[in-house]
Structure 1
Amino acid sequence: MSDLIFPMTEVLGQPAVRVQAPDGAQAIVLLHGGHVVSWIPAGGREQLYLSPQAVAGPGQAVRGGVPVIFPQFEQRGPDTSLPRHGLARTRTWAVESSSRAKDHAQLTLALDDNAETRALWPHSFTLELTVSISGQRLDLELYAHNPGETSWPFAAALHTYLAVPDLSQARLQGLEGCHYVDSLTGGETVEDHPEKRFSGEVDRIYAKARNLLLRDGPRRLAIEADQLPDVVLWNPGPDKCAALKDMPPDGWQHMLCVEGGNILEPITLGPDESWSGRQSFTLLAS
């Protein structure tokens, strides 16, 4: 582990880093999965949903926070022989660097291929997740590098579970006019609502979505992405939520996944090529 200026803690029985900015903003990141499990803006409240029944351990993905999805999304590919959502979210990451300035704090974790990952996916890779906090803003940047001699395609996503007090009161703006794939029906169409409302299960991938705004009571949360052109909206709804062992039956009413991704058109990295994508969240004044 490189020099770490932030305190270590433990969440779900796993070592974690508490990233703290001088202005009071903080985030907690598990080494397991490179998984952000908490983000509290300066003077604010928790913005991420972490299931009270979440578990973490070898081979287990954490329910909530921000799972890192790589090199495939769900079972869409590009390599459907891999576990669902790939292999990054259940591996142990290492601290690469940490820094703090007057109004900013940053942590970078890294994951490299090893014999275990190559048995599942026979490629050399390096992933880095950089978590930056400042005031009312959270930036998550995922970087992928191909240090090997053969090309490989990949999909990626930052599977962000946002906390909402009441899903039925949440409103999401910015998707009107975007083409989307509905994973529940298998259909495809164009979003014609200027403001999305939610009453239960939703599972959609929107293409070429840009700036979004989540309205949730007095909260206004701006969501931006760079090089992550797709947006996944997901909520299990009451029936599927009740079947999830790591989520309470009413958990679906208190979360909404709004995740930036590169899913519908996977990227191919040649030898020594790299890619990065970023998703940012800014809590706006009410």
Structure 2
Amino acid sequence: MSENLIFETLEVLGEPAVRVQAADGAHATVLLHGAQVVSWVPAGGEEQLYLSPKAVACEGKAVRGGVPVIFPQFELRGPDTSLPRHGFARTRRWTVESSRRDKDCALLTLVLDDSAETRAIWPHSFTLELTISVGAGRLDLELYAHNPGDSRWPFAAALHTYLGVSELSHVRLQGLEGCRYEDRVVGGETLEDHPEKRFHGEVDRIYAHTRDLLLRDGPRRLSIESAGFSDTVIWNPGPEKCAALPDMPAEGWQHMLCIEAAQVLKPVTLGPDEEWSGRQSFSLLAA
């Protein structure tokens, strides 16, 4: 990459992508398909995200891994249950809006506007932007939504982050104690009473009013912060559901954990010319 080039174009999974690189060598790779970050490598470090080796990228299909952008509904729970699962942003072609390199990081912004295709299934005007900032041992993802139309619309949103892990049973997650959660595996709601979560198989929980988290995976320590998003989704398909996924290897569940900044339990409503933003940040801490 030349000194003046902020990003380079390349092909990933047969789709156009861009790689943005900071002056210190930290870099992230983003598919234009869904504005999906599929790789984050800190300066002098190793890959931090999980991208399924069987992932497929094609029109109308979500990519398994990285950071899918969920909008305007989460799964099939709403607020508009007529939409495709997890909405449509993750399966649309975004465009590069801007890029720049500062002293400590490089930034890339991609944009998605409403079109005849989106209005056919969701009759609203909107602008979405995803800004990726990478540098040293930090990755920041900011999702921005704007309503340029003359009608109000509600939405849910999430950054469906697949983190790569050495082995799921080695992972410890701190910071959820005292948060109420909805358990989508066994049903019901309860209060988290574990100061340090461990994982051994399928988990699908929506935690409300979460705060900063710390993931420990052997010597690796990853700080996870969010702002604007009130919820955190923790997800792993476990062995049985993973084996049934055509775009995941049977053992893939052992090497990933989704920790998603989300706005699910209380969708946001934007009136004309109103806007919203939410951010998820990852910092690799010294061992």
TM superposition score category, shorter chain reference:
over 0.9
Q: Please report the RMSD computed on the Cα atoms of aligned residues, expressed in angstroms.
A: 0.9
Q: Which residue of 1 aligns with 2:154?
A: 153
Check the 8 A contact 1:4/1:95 in 2, yes or no.
no
Q: Which residue of 1 aligns with 2:216?
A: 215
1:184-195, aligned counterparts within 5 Å?
184-195=185-196
For residue 232 of structure 1, report the CA deviation from its aligned partner: 0.2
Check the 8 A contact 1:73/1:84 in 2, yes or no.
yes
SS in 2 for 1:157: strand
Q: Which residue of 1 aligns with 2:105?
A: 104
Q: Which amino acid is the alignment partner of residue 180 of structure 1?
A: Y
Write the deviation string for residues 135-170 of structure 1: whole angstroms up to 9, x where unpaired.
000000000000000000000000000000100000
Check the 8 A contact 1:4/1:98 in 2, yes or no.
no
Check the 8 A contact 1:132/1:138 in 2, yes or no.
yes
Check the 8 A contact 2:127/2:147 in 1, yes or no.
yes
Partners in 1 of 2:119 and 2:184 — Cα distance?
30
Q: How many residues align?
A: 284
Check the 8 A contact 2:171/2:218 in 1, yes or no.
yes
For residue 4 of structure 1, report the CA deviation from its aligned partner: 7.1
Write the deviation string for residues 118-138 of structure 1: whole angstroms up to 9, x where unpaired.
111010000000000110000
Partners in 1 of 2:210 and 2:102 — Cα distance?
32
Q: Which residue of 1 aligns with 2:30?
A: 29
1:30-179, aligned counterparts within 5 Å?
30-179=31-180
Partners in 1 of 2:102 and 2:226 — Cα distance?
24
Instruction: Provide the TM-score with structure 2 as the length reference.
Output: 0.98
Partners in 2 of 1:61 and 1:119 — Cα distance?
20
SS in 2 for 1:181: strand
Point out where structure 2 has 5 or more consecutive residues left out of the alignment. none
Partners in 2 of 1:57 and 1:173 — Cα distance?
36
For residue 103 of structure 1, report the CA deviation from its aligned partner: 1.9
Q: Which residue of 2 aligns with 1:268?
A: 269
1:187-206, aligned counterparts within 5 Å?
187-206=188-207
Instruction: Provide the TM-score with structure 1 as the length reference.
Output: 0.98
SS in 2 for 1:117: helix
Partners in 1 of 2:189 and 2:89 — Cα distance?
29
Partners in 2 of 1:285 and 1:100 — Cα distance?
24
Partners in 2 of 1:245 and 1:69 — Cα distance?
21
Check the 8 A contact 2:6/2:21 in 1, yes or no.
no
SS in 2 for 1:85: coil
Q: Percent identity?
A: 75
Task: Give the 4+ runs in structure 1 shifted more than 3 A.
Answer: none
Q: Which amino acid is the alignment partner of residue 130 of structure 1?
A: T
Partners in 2 of 1:21 and 1:183 — Cα distance?
39
